[in-house]
Amino acid sequence: MSERKVLCEECRDRVEFNVVEKEIVDTLKGENYTYMGKEAYCSKCGAEVYVDDVIDFNLEKLYDAYRKENDIISLEKVLEISDFYTDEQMTIVKGWRKGIFDRYCEGDVPSKEHSDDLKQIYELLLVEQIRKKFTRRVIKCRK
């Protein structure tokens, strides 16, 4: 049980609540997606209550399911790219609208076209990293 309290519409009061894991089916862009999400229930009357964290958690899971199903690059990979590229650079390199890469880094789901661009960049970064590792190893061997 949580120490925090939220509004229960049934009890018309701020109540403590229990969070349970649940398989949820949600619709996004006209398609159904199933994911392991969470639901919160009033600990007094058992009615479902709305908790910000739970809603955010489910939204993230829904987006994950959507990305997997539609072959869209994962948020983790987008964040890895952001270690190397800024929003400004993506605007210059890819001609994207300003701020759009930042939004992807905050969890917005990229379009298929942008996702493919990002995947390509990710692959190149990966190759670059492997090459660096390899070069370092070669240098070590020569000593």
Contact (Cβ atoms closer than 8 angstroms) between residue 42 and residue 13: no
Which C-beta is closer to Zn ion: that of 38 or that of 94? Answer: 38
Measured at the CA of 25, the angle between CA 24 and CA 30, to 5 degrees, comes to 150
Per CB under 5 A, the segment of 34-42, 69-77, 91-99, 129-137 that binds Zn ion is 34-42
Given the rule CB under 5 A, which of 33-41, 45-53, 81-89, 117-125 is the region that contacts Zn ion?
45-53
Answer for which of 8, 75, 81, 90 binds Zn ion (CB under 5 A) is 8
Residue nearest to Zn ion (CB): 42
Minimum CB distance to Zn ion smaller for 40 or for 42:
42
**Residue 87: Cβ-neighbour burial (10 angstroms; 0-12, 13-18, 19+):** middle
Considering only the stretches 10-18, 91-99, 119-127, 130-138, report the one whose residues sit in contact with Zn ion under the rule CB under 5 A.
10-18
Among the residue ranges 22-30, 40-48, 84-92, 110-118, the one whose residues contact Zn ion (CB under 5 A): 40-48
By CB under 5 A, tell whether 5 contacts Zn ion: no
Beta-strand (E) ranges in the chain? 6-8, 13-15, 17-28, 31-42, 48-49
- Strand pairing class (17-28; 13-15): unpaired
Which among 81, 87, 64 is positioned nearest to 121, based on CA atoms? 81
| Nearer Cβ to Zn ion (26/48) | 48
Residues making contact with Zn ion (CB under 5 A): 8, 10-11, 42, 44-45, 47
